[in-house]
Structure formats: C-alpha cells, structure tokens
Amino acid sequence: MKNSSISSRGFLSRRALLRGAGVTLALPFLESVAPRGLQAAEPTAPVRLMYWFIPNGILYDKWIPKVVGALDPAAPPESLAPLAAAGVLGDVNILSGVDNLCGYPETVGDHASGMSAMLTCVAAKKVIEGVELGVSVDQVAAAALGKKTPRPSLELGMAKSGGVGDCDSGYACAYAQSLSWNDKTTPRPKRTDPKDAWLWLLGTEDASLSVEQRERMRRGDKSVLDYLLAEAKTLSPKLTSEDKVKLEQYLSSVRTVEEQLNSAAVPVECQNSKPPMNIGTDYISRLNAMMDVMEFAYRCDLTRVVTFGLGNAFGPGPMPWIEVGDDYHALTHRMTDAGVPELVAKCILWEVEQIGAFLKRLKAMPEGDHNVLYNTAMFVSSDVGEGGPHNHDNMACLLAGNAGGAIATGRHLAYKPEDNNARNLARRRTAADRAQGLAIPNTNRMANVHLALLQAAGVPAASFADSNGPIKGLLST
C-alpha cells in the first residue's frame, strides 16, 4: 500500500510528519524534509514581520547617514554605531524623509497621536472616550500569516496598556498605550510579563500543565467547535434571510477559530521549553526576558508577526542604567539646555544597542540557506520625528532583515515629498488642514513603507491605509 505521507517525488511533506499520531503539527521549517527543488530556492523558510517602537524620536544629525546609498560600517552615524558593533549594520536599511502626517494632532497631543499612527497610518479622533482609529498593519499581516502558526500575532511591551482617561492633551490613553488595533475602535492588549507571554505562546498560562494536558485542552476546544458547526447546520433551514446572514457571519468566525486550532499544536521540540524564571522587576531584566520570548516565538515558528514597544508614548522615564536620572521625554523639551542634547543622544544610543543585540540573536539562528534575520522584515519607528519639535515628517524608519530575499539591505534610501505643501498644511495642526495635506498624493508616506513590507512577506495586500503604492526602491522585485 502506498504511503500517503510520501509524495510521488519521494519527499516527506511537513504536515505529514506527525499525521500517523492522529494530529497535524505546524512544524518549524526543516530543510531536511523540504522538496529538493525548493531547498536552494527563494524563499525556502517562513518570512516574518516585526514592529519595534522607540519613544520620543531621534536626532537627525546623529541618525541619518550623510551619503545616500551603501552604509559604511567603518563610519556609521553616531546613533547607529551599535549596529555596526553588533555586526548587523549591513542587515539594515535606513529610510530618511518618510512622512507620517496623520500623526499630527489637532493642536497638541503629539505623542498619543503619533504612537497611534505608527502602525495604522490613520489620524486618531481626538477624544477621551469613544476612540476611533483604524486597523494596524501588524493585524493585516496576522490575518494572512497567522493562519500558519499557533498564534496569529504576539504583542509585547515594557509598559502596560488598558489605561482610561486623558493621557495626552485630550487624547485617550488607548492612543498613547497601544500600537496594535483590531479595527478602528478596538486596541489590542499587549503582554508585559515575559513569563505570561511564553506560556501563552505554548497554549496555556498555567505552568503546571503537562504537554499531554495542553493537548487534551486543545482537542476539547476542537470538539466544542465541531458541535457548534453541526448544530448551526440544523438551524439554517429554519431561519429568515436576515438571520441566515447573521448565522453565516457567526460560522465564519467559528471557522477562523477552527483553522487556528488545527494549527495550534506547538512543535514537539518546543513543548517542554521552560519560560524565563526568577525575572527581576527591574527594566533591564524584563527587557532581556522579553527578547528571550521573541526569540523563542520565532525559533519555534509559534507566530510570524510580533509587535514590541520599549515603552508607551512619552517613553520609559528616567534611565538610571545608563546614568540618565531625568525623565527622557522631559529632556527632549529642554534641548537648548547645556548638556541635554548629549543625554538625549545617550538614550537613543542605548535604544539602538538593544535593537542591535536582538538582531544579532536572530542572525545567529540558522534557517534554510540563511538565518532568521534574513527571513525577517523588522520595522523600527517612533511616535515623533525629533523629540524637540514633535514633528511627524521625516520619521525614524529603520528596516532590518531581507524578508527572505525580497529586500536588499545595507542601504540609506532618501525620500522627499513631491509637494512640500503637504507638510506645511499638516504642521498647522487642524483636522481640516491635515486632511488637505494627506490628500496630496506624495509617495514618501509611511503607509507605502508598510505596504511594501506586507508584500515582501507574501501578504496579498494591494493597499494599506492611505498608501498609494509600495515605497519606491525598497523591494528587490
């Protein structure tokens, strides 16, 4: 009898490996079982997306390379020196001149409006209650890439979300604390406890559960869904046309959950992984544990979409671990004071050191013919361009990884608006002027960067937010 897990070409399918055990597992990429014709092809491994938030902007003179084109690892801009030291400067692109004009608030509130716009490219409605924004790009990616992994996406942060009230000059706390949004009214909660996040990736928040217990829970959830689907089919002939529409919407959501459960089994080699234990309460200990969680998620292919923030809008506060005792955000308002620009530069340098350390981790993880960093596209930006002027044009825009070969790296790509009046209008800080500025079809908009990254990761997106095409010059094809 022919073995159905072996194809006519003589290789094992990834999903067939554990079919004999009565369960189909979503295995991480294994080169040894890839079809021979694919082993040398591009891409042969999953492509991942990561979104990394740094608060309070950058300093242009220390961040933007002087020369357009190849980055020089021997003479990087001061703020990017840690990337060269980590051996990853050649794995990044620096995009200058990219605007996110929807981040401009009505009068004031730049940090909340800017943070909420980073991944949505939508202008936040200035309210304290009844928030209105838009779906974030990470959730667009998760809707496509998340069908292939146990968790569609992972949202992490060093500061909590879920606050209520006025967090920034009339802007609701949801805007100042949330990067990820399911839709225009629903911010996604993020996980701030590394141990909790690790266990959630494994399918439970109870560390005492065994692998067998977790699997029984998953099978039980699947049985409940099977029952619901069967019951719904018996109801359908008895319903009105209006109720049939409602039922179909319900069934669609059930099928989505069912698809997730079908791929929710954690790879065997990762099931007994232990979460970070005895984590200190200090910022640095928690940050290192968060990096462990993100590395674990990618190594075991538990999700392909991760969003992470080094803080909320306004930033982490004082940074005593680098001998900056004053509040980081407050320092950006005192840039004319003696010694303050040096302290702000020190804060930014430390942030880039963390990015470099994490990229180095990904680069050290072999995958296929390359490594995990090569198969990832990571987007780094902020709530404002520079902390002093609180602008939302010429935003920080650092991209790391090759997206499996879709992006060439080691470059400084410089952009500018075709019509500078868009910036001038948005800077007036009224809803009407901002809308008029956004209507000018400049191609240097942040949404075009997001669209390019979605396409690089294989997400079938023709547009995102106010995009008018993928940003020029970024993609290899």
Strand pairing of 181-183 and 92-96?
Answer: unpaired
The structure tokens listed for 111 are 């940090």
What's the pLDDT at 258? Answer: 54
| Angle CA 281–172–96, to nearest 5 | 80
3-class state of residue 406 by DSSP: coil
What is the torsion angle, in degrees rounded to the nearest 10, for the CA atoms of residue 392, residue 313, residue 302 and residue 229?
-90
Per-residue pLDDT tens for 78-109?
999 999 999 999 999 999 999 999 999 999 99
DSSP state at residue 166: E
In a 10 Å sphere around its CB, with 0-12 CB exposed, 13-18 middle and 19+ buried, how is residue 128 labelled?
Answer: middle
Instruction: Please give the pLDDT value at position 30.
Output: 42
Does an H or E element contain 200, and which?
helix 194-202
pLDDT at 259: 53
**Please, what is the average pLDDT of the chain?**
86
pLDDT tens per residue across span 297-355: 999 999 999 999 999 999 999 999 999 999 999 999 999 999 999 999 999 999 999 99
d(CA 153, CA 357): 22
pTM above 0.85, yes or no: no
Q: Please tell me the predicted confidence (pLDDT) of residue 220.
A: 52
Beta pairing, strands 376-381 & 92-96: unpaired
Least confident of 37-51, 129-143, 201-215, 380-394: 201-215
Under 8 Å CB-to-CB from 233, ≥6 apart: which residues? none
**CA nearest neighbour of 153 among 170, 136, 174:** 136
Q: In the structure, what pLDDT confidence band is assigned to residue 26 with cuts at 50, 70 and 90?
A: very low
Q: How crowded is the C-beta side of 376, counted as CA atoms within 13 Å?
A: 34
The pLDDT tens digits of the residues spanning 192-218 come to 999 999 999 987 654 455 556 555 555
Alpha-carbon distance 363 to 89, whole Å? 12
Which phi and psi (to 5°) does residue 443 adopt? -100, 0
Confidence band, pLDDT 50/70/90 cuts, at residue 7 = very low
Rounded mean pLDDT, 431-454: 98
10 Å CB burial of residue 227 (0-12, 13-18, 19+) is exposed
Tens of pLDDT, residue by residue over 295-313, are 999 999 999 999 999 999 9
User: Does 22 or 60 have the greater pLDDT score?
Assistant: 60
The full 3-state SS of 2-62, as one line of letters, equals CCCCECCCCCECCCCCCHHHCCCCCCCCCHHHCCHHHHCCCCCCCCEEEEEECCCCECHHH
Q: What is the pLDDT of residue 27?
A: 38
Cα–Cα dist 379/200, whole Å: 24
pLDDT at 264 over 80: no
pLDDT at position 267:
79
User: Please, are residues 279 and 252 in contact by the beta-carbon 8 Å criterion?
Assistant: no
Residues facing 158 on adjacent strands:
none
C-alpha dihedral sign at 219, 27, 266, 263: negative
Q: Is the pLDDT of residue 22 over 50?
A: no
Among residues 163, 179, 159, 178, the alpha carbon closest in space to that of 129 is found at: 163
Tell me the mean pLDDT in the region 372-392: 98
